[in-house]
Amino acid sequence: MTYCIAINLDQGLLFGGDTRTNAGVDHISTYKKLFTFSNGSTHAIAILCSGNLATSQHLIESLRREIELEEDNLLSKDSLFDCAKHAGRILYDIIQESAHNESDKLGDFSSNLLLGGQIKGERPRLFMIYPQGNFIEATRETPYFQIGEHKYGKPIIDRTIRYDLPLEQALNSTLISLDSTIKSNLSVGLPMDILLYEKDSYDLSRYRRIEEYDEDLLNMRQYWSNGLKQLLEELPTPKI
Amino acid sequence: MTYCIAINLDQGLLFGGDTRTNAGVDHISTYKKLFTFSNGSTHAIAILCSGNLATSQHLIESLRREIELEEDNLLSKDSLFDCAKHAGRILYDIIQESAHNESDKLGDFSSNLLLGGQIKGERPRLFMIYPQGNFIEATRETPYFQIGEHKYGKPIIDRTIRYDLPLEQALNSTLISLDSTIKSNLSVGLPMDILLYEKDSYDLSRYRRIEEYDEDLLNMRQYWSNGLKQLLEELPTPKI
């Protein structure tokens, strides 16, 4: 499985994803699920993938080839909406091509995407793209999307993320959401990839891969666990 | 759906469950999922149910009738292991009776149980019973079980529950685990039922139903949300 989350806030965008892929419990590998496309000045786009690895690798390769070889590509669009439409269509075609019968199509070959970023002339935007190729956009009221094993890491996001939250604070929620999922579910695993995009920067260099024994991660985890325990001790408990 | 959790600690047992049942999103009702069986002196037993409501109501009715009418019943056993075996066999029979074909049996008519408590001569024990009638017991290393929508409320339990945690503190984790699930998933809903059993008391009166506008719950929720936000603000964040 996979756990990826992306958040669209007033100050910019956040992307986080684990890197575990598995078929059953005995075929486990590490693969990147976060990919970026940028020209450094007018287009800054990131994609997170869940689902079938062959499908998502095929998609990313197709998008990269187009940028190299064709005029119509992710970096030629005037709106991120059109990028989502474009990626959605390619995703749908790949699934159709791999599937040999109807039940395959939305089953094993399926993949979901989060596509976010900014194109000059627009605010930063974020889309969740379905295997059918259609998509929805994040809004002020619902500024985040999750794909994959989303349940474990949802409560912390539901309790803390608001559109006007500073990016650095939302980063903390994102890291805890990812770390909690990794701790509670074997099919989601370290290292994790984090990308932070500041509005109007068109810069995708604030990226970091966090490995298992990363000292910052261990510090954060320790601080969080201790903090939760203390908070629980002080919690005004309903009398039972 | 449902979310129920039970924990077996050094000081005793904790049981928590929501009360929502739903078929789709438009047939929502409130039903108790926590049931107790006790003679006040040597047997104190609680059962939490998830899954098909007809199956679990049938089970509880059968267990109650046995206590009234038959010599061999939950309150006549010498060990909680035998109670789990007994309830498991009845559960299996009910599912077999309701199912009209093979795929029904583990599908729509299925139900999972958590059965815990204490019988004089034994320490408090806790079992998770499967629709097949077999069961596993909670241990020191893994002192808790969840049934139903268990993912949302798992991280807080994974980070805080240890066998030697005082009951009152584990109660806080349990309440937060339930409340987080209710907040993040529509199919799990208030009111919630909480039962706290102190070792060697054979007393099941520390029970409370917590309703939607319960002042204690609102206080606790407010305190928790504010505490989480503050903790996140202070968290040593990995530099991205």
Q: For B86-96, write each residue's pLDDT tens digit.
A: 999 999 999 99
CB contact under 8 A, A232 and B180: no
Distance of CA A11 to the CA centre of its chain: 17
CB contact under 8 A, A169 and B196: no
With 70 as the cut, is the pLDDT of residue B104 above it?
Answer: no
> Quick check: is A234 in a domain?
no
> Quick check: is B41 in a domain?
yes
Q: How far apart are CA B37 and CA B23, in angstroms?
A: 29
Q: What is the mean pLDDT of residues A140-145?
A: 96
Q: Could you list the beta-strand ranges (E) of chain A.
A: 3-9, 12-17, 20-23, 27-30, 34-38, 43-51, 111-119, 125-129, 135-137, 144-148, 192-198, 207-210
HSE of A75, CA atoms in CB hemisphere, 13 A: 20
The larger pLDDT score, comparing residue B239 to residue A34, is at: A34
CB contact under 8 A, B155 and A206: no
Q: What is the mean pLDDT of residues A179-199?
A: 91
Contacts of A185 in chain B (CB under 8 A): 151
Q: What is the mean pLDDT of residues B65-72?
A: 96
Nearest CA to B115 out of B95, B140, B142, B136 is that of B136
> Would you give the DSSP letter of residue A42?
S
Q: What is the mean pLDDT of residues B175-201?
A: 92
Q: What is the mean pLDDT of residues A220-237?
A: 91
Nearest Cα of chain A lies from the Cα of B1 at a distance, in angstroms, of 14
> Quick check: is A101 in a domain?
yes
Q: What is the mean pLDDT of residues A13-34?
A: 86
What confidence score (pLDDT) does residue A20 get?
85
Nearest Cα of chain B lies from the Cα of A93 at a distance, in angstroms, of 32
Contacts by residues B212-215 (CB-CB < 8 Å, ≥ 24 positions apart): B214/A238
Nearest Cα of chain A lies from the Cα of B131 at a distance, in angstroms, of 23
**Mutate: best of A151, A176, A204, A218, partner B, most B CBs <10 A:** A151
pLDDT averaged over chain B? 92
- Tens-place pLDDT, residues B135-168: 999 999 999 999 999 999 999 999 899 999 999 9
What confidence score (pLDDT) does residue A27 get?
79
**Mutate: best of B212, B232, B239, partner A, most A CBs <10 A:** B232
> Quick check: is B206 in a domain?
yes
The pair of three-digit structure tokens given for residue B123, joined into one six-digit string: 């320490």
Nearest Cα of chain A lies from the Cα of B205 at a distance, in angstroms, of 9
Which residues, including other chains, have CB under 8 Å from residue A205's CB and lie 6 or more apart?
Answer: none
Beta carbons of B179 and B188 less than 8 angstroms apart: no
**Which domain covers residue A110, as residue numbers?**
3-214
Contacts of B232 in chain A (CB under 8 A): 160, 169, 172-173, 176
The enclosing domain of B45 has a CATH number of 3.60.20.10
What confidence score (pLDDT) does residue B118 get?
98
Contacts of B184 in chain A (CB under 8 A): 151, 154-155, 158
Query: Nearest residue on chain A to B195, judged by CA atoms?
Result: A240
What confidence score (pLDDT) does residue A107 get?
65
With 70 as the cut, is the pLDDT of residue B103 above it?
Answer: no
Which of A175-179, B51-55, B89-93, B105-109 shows the lowest per-residue confidence on average (mean pLDDT)?
Answer: B105-109
With 70 as the cut, is the pLDDT of residue B105 above it?
Answer: no
- Tens-place pLDDT, residues A145-180: 999 999 999 999 998 999 999 999 899 999 999 999
Contacts by residues A141-144 (CB-CB < 8 Å, ≥ 24 positions apart): A143/A7, A143/A8, A143/A9, A144/A5, A144/A6, A144/A7, A144/A8
CB contact under 8 A, A240 and B171: yes
CB contact under 8 A, B235 and A224: yes
Q: What is the mean pLDDT of residues A34-58?
A: 95
With 80 as the cut, is the pLDDT of residue B25 above it?
Answer: no
Contacts of A231 in chain B (CB under 8 A): 224, 227-228, 231
Nearest Cα of chain A lies from the Cα of B97 at a distance, in angstroms, of 32
Beta carbons of B161 and B173 less than 8 angstroms apart: yes
How many A/B residue pairs have CB atoms within 8 Å?
146
What confidence score (pLDDT) does residue B185 get?
86
- Tens-place pLDDT, residues A82-117: 999 999 999 999 999 888 776 666 568 899 999 999
Nearest Cα of chain B lies from the Cα of A171 at a distance, in angstroms, of 8
What confidence score (pLDDT) does residue A105 get?
60
With 70 as the cut, is the pLDDT of residue B61 above it?
Answer: yes
What confidence score (pLDDT) does residue A100 get?
77
CB contact under 8 A, A168 and B237: yes
Give me the DSSP letters along B111-146: EEEEEEEEETTS--EEEEE-TTS-EEE--SSS-EEE
Asked if the ipTM is above 0.95, the reply is no
Which of A20-24, A59-63, B202-206 shows the lowest per-residue confidence on average (mean pLDDT)?
Answer: A20-24
> Quick check: is A71 in a domain?
yes
Q: Which of A160, A196, A223 sits opposite B240 (nearest CB)?
A: A196
What confidence score (pLDDT) does residue A104 get?
63
Q: How far apart are CA A99 and CA A110, in angstroms?
A: 9
Nearest Cα of chain B lies from the Cα of A167 at a distance, in angstroms, of 11
What confidence score (pLDDT) does residue A138 get?
97
Percent of chain A beyond pLDDT 70?
97
| A188-197, B106-115, B178-187: which is most confident | A188-197
CB contact under 8 A, B231 and A228: yes
Give me the DSSP letters along B66-116: HHHH-SSSGGG-SSHHHHHHHHHHHHHHHHHHH-SSHHHHTTTT-EEEEEE
Which of A69-73, A138-142, B81-85, B187-191 shows the lowest per-residue confidence on average (mean pLDDT)?
Answer: B187-191
Nearest Cα of chain A lies from the Cα of B63 at a distance, in angstroms, of 26
Q: How far apart are CA B200 and CA B11, in angstroms?
A: 9
Q: Which of A172, A210, A235 sits opposite B220 (nearest CB)?
A: A235
Percent of chain B beyond pLDDT 90?
76
| Residues in a beta bridge with A47 | A35, A115
What confidence score (pLDDT) does residue B20 get?
85
The larger pLDDT score, comparing residue A71 to residue B100, is at: A71
> Quick check: is B11 in a domain?
yes
Contacts of A158 in chain B (CB under 8 A): 180, 183-184
Q: What is the mean pLDDT of residues B174-178?
A: 94
Question: How many domains, in total, are found in chain A?
Answer: 1
CB contact under 8 A, B151 and A208: no
Q: Which of A168, A183, A206 sits opposite B155 (nearest CB)?
A: A183
At B107, the pLDDT band (50, 70, 90 cuts) reads low
At A137, the pLDDT band (50, 70, 90 cuts) reads very high
Q: What is the mean pLDDT of residues A24-28?
A: 75
With left for phi above 0 and alpha for psi between -120 and 50, is residue A152 left, alpha or beta?
alpha
Q: Which of B160, B220, B238 sits opposite A214 (nearest CB)?
A: B238
